[in-house]
Structure 1
Amino acid sequence: MLRRLALIALPLTAMVATSGTAQSSANIAGRWRTDDGNAIILVAPCAGNARQFCGRITQMTNPTLARATDTNNPDESLRSRPLVGVPVLTGLTPSGQRFTGRGYSPEEGRNFNATVHVENGRLNVRGCVAVFCRTVVWTRAQ
């Protein structure tokens, strides 16, 4: 009896694990309001690679930042580009229930290793440079 239950439970466990990964992919996609409320980020499959996710600024919600540029970018030739359109998450690939890739902070003009996951309907974005890490929490935008 126990052996039969184990044989039934094994495929069910595999189906649940597979659907959880598919659900987490769907969960990170969408429009997210940054922790400071200043921007909306669209997270979607990357152009040219539907297996990875990318995020780019699609709107500045703070009117004083509406015409802001990427002034802190380490690449001097990019400092005059508008913040709207700037990629802030790139190459996010699934790793269990999380996604790992690269991030960019226009405020600091810094690139970082990014780990992203959804928890309680919010997007946790963890950025690490060397051994220093920081997590910010984004909420779904309407």
Structure 2
Amino acid sequence: MKRFIIAATAAFVAASPAASVAPQSITGRWATDDGKAIVDIYACGAKLCGKVHKLLIKQPAGGQRDERNPDKAKRTRHVTGLQIYWDLAADGNAWKGQGYSPEDGRYYKANLTAKGAKMTMKGCVSVFCKTVTWTKMS
């Protein structure tokens, strides 16, 4: 009987919400730290995705294109509206998934962590990483 009570208590503690803390939500609209764009993070299925909502830089006539994409067939896509994050899933205190930078045409592993109105985005290609901080918009 004593073993049953200990096992039941251990199972209850393991299943309690405090045992698995989800990261802060990152859904919403974010301004990039370099002032070049606004990005929307939104639910897409059971995970999160992100797309360029608006570019804040001067664009060529007809709009900025994804001209640095390694796939030549994708270089005529508009950057505004372009999906740049996908498969973002909660992992510990962060959201991890895949990302793409139209600025340099690189795909990377993305790690996004929000704290209040700030979000840190760390992108890594192989062992090379870059970290930026974005600000949540109202």
1:71 aligns with 2:76: no
What is the aligned residue count? Answer: 125
Please state whether the residue corresponding to 2:103 is helix, strand or coil: coil
TM-score, length-scaled by structure 1: 0.79
Q: Structure 1 stretches (4+) deviating beyond 4 angstroms?
A: none
- Unpaired segments ≥5 residues, structure 1: 1-6
Aligned with 1:30 (options 25, 28, 31)? 28
- Higher gyration radius (CA): 2
Instruction: Give the superposition deviation at 1:123.
Output: 1.1
Hey, what does 2:92 align to over in structure 1?
96
Please state whether the residue corresponding to 1:65 is helix, strand or coil: coil
Aligned with 2:48 (options 32, 40, 53)? 53
Please state whether the residue corresponding to 1:53 is helix, strand or coil: strand
Hey, what does 1:4 align to over in structure 2?
none
Query: Per-residue displacement from partner, 1:5-28 (whole Å, max 9, x unpaired)?
Result: xx7xx75x933455x41x62xx20
Determine the C-alpha separation between the residues in 2 that align with 1:32 and 1:121: 9
Letter in 1 for 2:115: E
Query: Per-residue displacement from partner, 1:58-115 (whole Å, max 9, x unpaired)?
Result: 11122x1371111101111111111111111110011111111000010110000111
Determine the C-alpha separation between the residues in 2 that align with 1:122 and 1:88: 19
CA RMSD of aligned residues (A): 2.0
**Which of the pair is proportionally richer in helix?**
1
Please state whether the residue corresponding to 1:55 is helix, strand or coil: strand
Residues 1-142 of structure 1 correspond to what in structure 2 (within 5 A)? 14-18=16-20, 20-21=21-22, 24=24, 27-46=25-44, 49=45, 51-62=46-57, 64-65=58-59, 67-142=63-138
- Unpaired segments ≥5 residues, structure 2: 1-8
